[in-house]
């Protein structure tokens, strides 16, 4: 499985309507967690973030947010932001734009109508234009943890995160059962490193 651990600024600059990163002149990092909420896993993430006083953004799958409303409430009460990650974790390249937009709209009641992250980072231009018109900020990323990759070692993930994280980075993790074996090893050490580097971790507004 190949995927880029970091999106270079020249590439993200080709798509300026998407939110790839924050201010490169400020020591701020934006931690994001996709595919939850998930019992035990999301609780673990919340506990780790609280240890360091960090805030993050959780891109929720609508179906899971509907099934676990208490978890969504905990995320919000802890001061984190939430975003829309579709209702069924759809791939924009594999369904019609109409179906995809309906799925996002269906998820809105249990997620957010201001922040959206497309599953797999894939989104058609027509869909993006409509979401921007509807007031959404489409959030992508510039650093990928690779926690979803079951063939990857936690050591490799952590090393890559430290190498690529810089001012303004939007970093992707997953609070899912699949990602948990790597996440539980990497996240505490990465958060400690962020604190040592004096990064401030903020939610995406």
Query: Is the CB of residue 44 less than 8 Å from the CB of residue 76?
Result: no
DSSP category for residue 147 = T
Query: Is the CB of residue 110 less than 8 Å from the CB of residue 72?
Result: yes
174 included as an active-site residue? yes
Which candidate in 34, 35, 103, 142 is catalytic?
34
Which candidate in 21, 80, 85, 174 is catalytic?
174
Give the count of beta carbons closer than 10 Å to the beta carbon of residue 99. Answer: 13
Active site residues: 34, 174
């Amino acid at each position: 499985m190949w995927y880029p651990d970091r999106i270079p600024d020249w590439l993200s600059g080709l798509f300026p309507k998407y939110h790839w990163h924050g201010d490169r002149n400020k020591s701020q990092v934006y931690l994001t967690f996709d595919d939850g909420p998930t019992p035990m896993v999301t609780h673990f993430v919340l506990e780790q973030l609280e240890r360091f006083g960090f805030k993050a953004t959780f891109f929720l799958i609508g179906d899971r947010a509907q099934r676990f409303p208490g978890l969504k409430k905990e995320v919000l009460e802890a001061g984190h932001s939430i975003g829309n990650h579709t209702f069924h974790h759809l791939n924009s390249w594999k369904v019609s734009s109409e179906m995809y937009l309906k799925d996002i709209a269906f998820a809105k009641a249990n997620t957010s109508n201001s922040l959206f992250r497309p599953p797999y980072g894939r989104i058609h231009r027509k869909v993006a234009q409509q979401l921007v018109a509807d007031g959404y900020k489409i959030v992508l990323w510039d650093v990928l943890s690779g926690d979803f990759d079951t063939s990857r070692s936690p050591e490799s993930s952590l090393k890559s995160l430290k190498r690529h994280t810089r001012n303004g980075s939007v970093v992707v993790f997953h609070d899912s059962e699949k990602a948990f074996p790597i996440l539980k090893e990497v996240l505490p050490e990465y958060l400690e490193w962020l604190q040592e580097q004096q990064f401030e971790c903020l939610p995406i507004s």
